[in-house]
């Protein structure tokens, strides 16, 4: 994905952002399947993405062509309710017929370093004995949220990211839990499209800083991915004054 300009689209409420996100996911899936026979989607954690996922349930889609990846994961037991993969399963993955073999959770229960190495092999196709069907990058759509500090995925301010890897361990995340696994900007921008979801008054300061040119992780990733940023009025509140 060539770096390009970031576009901001304002919507009234977080529900509107979730609805627009679900529509865009389904449209991107239809286009990707028509053009490439598959849809590689990277899911984000967080409350707004989860709202969008629930709206996918029951919608018409060629689900058997979908493959699901994760932008980041918390190093918690596989069924822990605070895992992004568990939240996504409850919101929609358990309710749509995506083949289980096409869902690639990050094995974050192995710990940050082992999980990052494993997912790197999954994405780069060098995992010995991996399912032959692991599709290759680029992704078709990457979904991201933004934290109050301008983090995205598990890429946090003041935490430098090495250029080489697609996946990194995070040992000291300021947002609990501290141990996580995250795709890097290099992996996140290897995509045909990127959507960043920003809702809630608690995001207003970071959004204001972003739009004023602050060098935040979300700003860097969004620029690399030429992202469309869907924001609600609450997040824009302080940004307009």
**Positions that interact with ligand 6PG (CB under 6 A):** 44-48, 72, 74, 84, 145-147, 151-154, 175
Nearer to ligand 6PG, 123 or 221 (CB): 221
Cα gap 166→184, rounded to integer Å: 5
Min CB(217)–ligand 6PG separation in Å: 9
Query: Which residue's CB comes closest to ligand 6PG?
Result: 145
Nearer to ligand 6PG, 98 or 173 (CB): 173
Nearer to ligand 6PG, 61 or 239 (CB): 239
Min CB(154)–ligand 6PG separation in Å: 6
Min CB(183)–ligand 6PG separation in Å: 10
Nearer to ligand 6PG, 20 or 61 (CB): 20
| CA angle, residues 39, 60, 46, in degrees to nearest 5 | 60
- Residue in the structure block whose two tokens are 């302080």: 238
Min CB(50)–ligand 6PG separation in Å: 8
Nearer to ligand 6PG, 66 or 70 (CB): 70
Contact at 8 Å (CB) between 225 and 1?
yes
Min CB(232)–ligand 6PG separation in Å: 11
Cα gap 105→234, rounded to integer Å: 32
CA atoms within 13 A on the CB side of 132: 0
**Regarding beta strands 180-183 and 72-74, do their DSSP bridges make them parallel or antiparallel, or are they unpaired?**
antiparallel
Q: What is the DSSP letter of 152?
A: B
H helix intervals, the chain: 14-36, 47-54, 84-91, 112-124, 185-188, 204-211, 217-224, 233-236
Min CB(157)–ligand 6PG separation in Å: 12
Nearer to ligand 6PG, 99 or 174 (CB): 174
Query: 151 Cβ partners below 8 Å, 6+ apart?
Result: 157, 174, 175, 216, 217, 218
């Amino acid at each position: 994905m060539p770096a390009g300009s970031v576009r901001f689209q304002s919507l009234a409420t977080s529900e509107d952002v979730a609805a627009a996100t679900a529509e865009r996911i389904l449209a991107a899936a239809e286009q990707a399947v028509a053009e490439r026979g598959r849809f590689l989607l990277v899911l984000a954690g967080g409350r707004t993405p989860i709202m969008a996922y629930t709206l996918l349930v029951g919608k018409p889609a060629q689900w058997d062509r979908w493959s699901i990846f994760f932008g980041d994961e918390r190093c918690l037991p596989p069924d822990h309710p605070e895992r992004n993969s568990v939240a996504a399963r409850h919101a929609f993955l358990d309710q749509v017929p995506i083949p289980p073999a096409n869902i690639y959770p990050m094995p974050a229960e192995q710990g940050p370093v082992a999980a990052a190495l494993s997912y790197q092999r999954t994405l780069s196709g060098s995992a010995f004995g991996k399912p032959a069907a692991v599709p290759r990058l680029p992704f078709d759509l990457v979904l991201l949220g933004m934290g109050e500090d301008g983090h995205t995925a598990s890429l946090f301010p003041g935490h430098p990211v090495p250029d080489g890897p697609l996946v990194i361990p995070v040992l000291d995340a300021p947002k609990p839990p501290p141990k996580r696994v995250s795709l890097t900007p290099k992996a996140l921008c290897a995509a045909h499209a990127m959507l960043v979801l920003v809702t809630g008054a608690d995001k207003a300061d970071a959004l204001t800083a972003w739009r004023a040119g602050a060098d935040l992780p979300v700003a860097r990733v969004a620029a690399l991915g030429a992202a469309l940023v869907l924001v609600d009025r609450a997040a824009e509140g302080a940004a307009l004054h």
